[in-house]
């Protein structure tokens, strides 16, 4: 039997259950990736992420070639392309990784229906806990993270499977060439492994104390690899557990805190699966009635990193220039857009998806709804981040803001998160005159805070 192995996310040969399962059941397999022009045209598809995908496909092709196979690349509507390829190769089965996003699930359903005469097998390659595997005692999905995490921790997850040594593949199948691309992040499973091992050796054990400081290399920077499956969460968890075992019991808090983040990843996926309305609206529907002013001038200043609030501007410039952003700063800029600029969180959600290398619908949507106070979190909407105290707390030496806002370079750290408190002469003395060298604040935090509270109160009476 010949089987198609349809790659979408799990762009790896190691710990790829779809590939392993297909190989176990077939004489030969045809690894295929279908470039869907409809996805490339979507407003939430970012150029940087696409370049990283191309580079990832090349890396995957290299891994496959080392095992006697190659990646077939086709461009077009997936159901049609896969049907055509099945006919060309005489394939009688289709193996692929389970999908969770609403659009991806609908596409898979279309493909399975169109390829009715092929056996279709969905495998588990993207999450640790499958969305339907954890439920409350009442049998309902979890909507609060802490109890979800308690149960999550008790699970025996699947172990990673090794890469196959040989991948028998029929020869001579035509493939489209992959476009040239320059990715800002080295792509592929080898690069992902290097990043994981480096993190496990260095920052992982101090993750609990360093993860919140954007100037420190305190986090793993694995999210883009996890998003496209150049690394599996099973491999990530395996490395963490290995590191944990080697540490004395009282020094395991860093590893434990990091594993908790992997659970957040699963948590937001299960929210998206069980409550697909979050893809377009608030998790708590009452917040859909919020009358966001959505002032385009304020929104544009946020995107450009010219709000006059250094921690916000530094974050937005880092995002635009690199496609990455530290989690703490994601929370700060998201809170600022919604609670200070009174713009709909969906505007920020879409911009993040366009810019982020790790742009992932479940995590991004969860993060934005958390920040906007419309999501699953018990955190009430009236807890509003103060961009100055957040900056002072998490960037105390102003190293981060000075890196991305060089206008502030000579401003003493004490004032770097609130340069407006310097007199005009003091500003001139450090080459940072507001309105000339660095923007004036576009809003005043305490005033906007009051406006935001009034806005939310109109729809959240019962809170």
**Residues found near ligand FAD in the complex (CB under 6 A):** 211, 219-223, 226-227, 261-262, 264-265, 268, 327, 330-331, 334, 352, 356, 358-360, 363-364, 366-368, 371
What is the nearest approach in angstroms of ligand FAD to the Cβ of residue 291?
22
What is the nearest approach in angstroms of ligand FAD to the Cβ of residue 418?
23
Tokens of 273: 């699966």
User: Would you say 207 or 438 has its CB closer to ligand FAD?
Assistant: 207
User: Would you say 133 or 261 has its CB closer to ligand FAD?
Assistant: 261
Please state the separation of Cα 268 from the chain's center in Å. Answer: 11
What is the nearest approach in angstroms of ligand FAD to the Cβ of residue 271?
10
C-alpha gyration radius of the chain: 24
What is the nearest approach in angstroms of ligand FAD to the Cβ of residue 297?
22
Residue 34, helix vs strand vs coil: strand
Residue nearest to ligand FAD (CB): 367
Tell me the C-alpha to C-alpha distance, in Å, between residue 150 and each of 46, 210, 238, 258, 383: 35, 24, 19, 15, 25
Q: Cβ distance 298 to 439 under 8 Å? A: no
438: which DSSP letter? B
Tell me the C-alpha to C-alpha distance, in Å, between residue 115 and each of 3, 81, 104, 193: 13, 11, 16, 35
Q: Which residues are annotated as a binding site for FAD?
A: 207, 219-223, 258, 261-268, 358-360
Tokens of 80: 């049609």
User: Would you say 385 or 456 has its CB closer to ligand FAD?
Assistant: 385
Classify residue 300 by burial, with Cβ atoms within 10 Å: 0-12, 13-18, 19+: exposed
User: Would you say 192 or 432 has its CB closer to ligand FAD?
Assistant: 192
Residue written as token pair 């659970």? 263
What is the nearest approach in angstroms of ligand FAD to the Cβ of residue 362?
7
User: Would you say 267 or 438 has its CB closer to ligand FAD?
Assistant: 267
What is the nearest approach in angstroms of ligand FAD to the Cβ of residue 2?
35
Q: Which residues are annotated as a binding site?
A: 207, 219-223, 258, 261-268, 358-360
**Secondary element (H or E) of residue 35:** strand 28-35
User: Would you say 380 or 412 has its CB closer to ligand FAD?
Assistant: 380
């Amino acid at each position: 039997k010949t089987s198609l192995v349809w790659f979408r996310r799990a762009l790896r040969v190691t710990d790829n259950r779809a590939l392993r399962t297909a190989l176990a059941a077939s004489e030969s397999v045809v690894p295929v990736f279908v470039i869907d022009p409809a996805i490339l045209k979507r407003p939430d598809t970012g150029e940087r992420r696409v370049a990283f995908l191309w580079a990832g496909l090349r890396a995957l092709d290299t891994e496959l070639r080392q095992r006697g196979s190659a990646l077939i690349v086709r461009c077009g509507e997936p159901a049609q392309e896969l049907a055509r390829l099945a006919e060309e190769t005489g394939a009688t089965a289709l193996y692929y990784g389970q999908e969770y996003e609403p659009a991806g699930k609908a596409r898979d359903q279309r493909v399975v229906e169109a390829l009715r005469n092929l056996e279709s097998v969905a495998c588990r390659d993207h999450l640790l806990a499958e969305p339907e595997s954890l439920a409350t005692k009442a049998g309902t999905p979890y909507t609060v993270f802490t109890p979800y995490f308690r149960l999550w921790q008790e699970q025996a997850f699947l172990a990673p499977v090794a890469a196959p040594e040989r991948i028998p593949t029929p020869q001579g199948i035509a493939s489209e060439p992959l476009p040239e691309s320059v990715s800002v992040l080295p792509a592929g499973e080898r690069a992902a492994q290097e990043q994981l091992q480096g993190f496990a050796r260095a920052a992982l054990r101090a993750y609990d104390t360093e993860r919140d400081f954007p100037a420190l290399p305190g986090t793993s920077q694995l999210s883009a690899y996890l998003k496209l499956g150049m690394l599996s969460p099973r491999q990530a968890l395996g490395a963490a557990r290995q590191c944990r075992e080697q540490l004395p019991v009282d020094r395991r808090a860093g590893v434990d805190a990091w594993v908790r983040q992997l659970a957040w990843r699963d948590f937001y996926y299960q929210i998206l699966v069980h409550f697909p309305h979050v893809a377009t609206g608030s998790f708590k529907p009452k917040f859909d009635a919020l009358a966001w002013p959505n002032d385009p001038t304020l929104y544009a200043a946020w995107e450009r990193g010219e709000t006059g609030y250094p921690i916000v501007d530094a974050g937005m410039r880092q995002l635009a220039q690199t496609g990455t952003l530290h989690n703490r700063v994601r929370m700060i800029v998201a809170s600022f857009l919604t609670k200070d600029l009174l713009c709909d969180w969906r505007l920020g959600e879409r911009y993040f998806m366009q810019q982020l290398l790790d742009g992932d619908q479940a995590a991004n949507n969860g993060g934005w709804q958390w920040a906007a106070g419309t999501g699953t979190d018990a955190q009430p909407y009236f807890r509003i981040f103060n961009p100055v105290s957040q900056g002072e707390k998490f960037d105390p030496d102003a190293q981060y803001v000075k890196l991305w806002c060089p206008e502030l370079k000579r401003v003493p750290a004490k004032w770097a998160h609130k340069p407006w408190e310097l007199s005009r002469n003091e500003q001139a003395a450090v080459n940072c005159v507001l309105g000339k060298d660095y923007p004036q604040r576009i809003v005043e935090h305490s005033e906007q805070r009051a406006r935001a509270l009034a806005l939310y109160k109109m729809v959240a009476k019962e809170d």
